[in-house]
Amino acid sequence: MSYIPFANIGQSGSFPQQPTRTYIATAAFNTKLLVYSTSVNSNFVTVGSLTVNPSATAALCPRNEVLHTNGKFLRPDVNPGVVKPLIGVYSPRTFLSGFIDPTDPTFARYDVNFPYFFDVGVSSPTATLAGQGANVRGGEDAGYQLPTTNFIDAGNAMTGESSLGPTYSTLTISSQQVTTSSRIFLQKTGGAISTSGLTNYAIPYVSNISNGSFQVWFPSAVATGDRQYFAWFVLK
């Protein structure tokens, strides 16, 4: 009986493995990267301590930093001084490591659907390596802005909130994210009564979409002392 020789095939253990989970920072996390240590007190009881990584700075821990899990965990009732589960992570860009709280909104799950050898230190604005297409948002959240005139500057925001009272019937919102092909969506967040009757609500609508701005109009005036609150969202 003859045997056909097979090519030498490397086993999966011969190659570096991807981390099972990866996170992306939604804000600077220099105060959220922790190190863990233990010591024995005078009663010969092991006590644990969590402190901020002394090497972590705002410059080394910026928003959009991608953090890989390193297989380490801290668990309550197992590790002294730990009150909630923490996950060990490291940055392939700065080589900083430590523990984070995975439930903290500072850290979001990040797609790792790409080869391990790709450079994923800091996510690009268009997330070209994210495996889920380009980021359709990209902008910031302006939060609530109270207009003192009929104009507000939302900067680079793609979402925000505002309101209008009886002084102005139109509001121009400036944003770098707005183009002539953008779709602007409004959501009413607080009612205002129109002057046409106590049961009629003044509903805003969008018009005059141009590069860098759009306008919010009211079909009827708002009753004195009342305001119309709304949220807006730009879809590119």
Is the CA virtual torsion 53, 115, 109, 63 positive or negative? positive
CB 218, CB 204: distance < 8 Å = yes
**CATH code of the domain in which 187 resides:** 2.60.40
Q: Tell me the residue range of the domain where 189 lies.
A: 140-235
Residue 27 lies in a domain: yes
Residue 134 lies in a domain: no
- Judge whether residue 45 has pLDDT over 50: yes
Mean pLDDT throughout 43-62? Answer: 93
Task: Identify whether residues 102 and 157 lie together within a single domain.
Answer: no
Can you spell out the DSSP letters for 79-126?
STT--S-EEEEE-TTT--EEEE-TTSTTEEE----S-TTS--SB--TT
pLDDT for 156: 86
pLDDT for 124: 44
- Judge whether residue 100 has pLDDT over 80: yes
Residue 131 lies in a domain: no
Task: Identify whether residues 72 and 144 lie together within a single domain.
Answer: no
Average pLDDT, the chain: 77
More confident residue, 113 or 59: 59
- Judge whether residue 50 has pLDDT over 90: yes
Residue 185 lies in a domain: yes
Number of domains in the chain: 2
Residue 71 lies in a domain: yes
Q: Give pLDDT tens digits for 156-204.
A: 888 888 887 766 678 899 998 898 888 888 887 776 554 444 445 566 7
Residue 121 lies in a domain: no
Task: Identify whether residues 101 and 34 lie together within a single domain.
Answer: yes
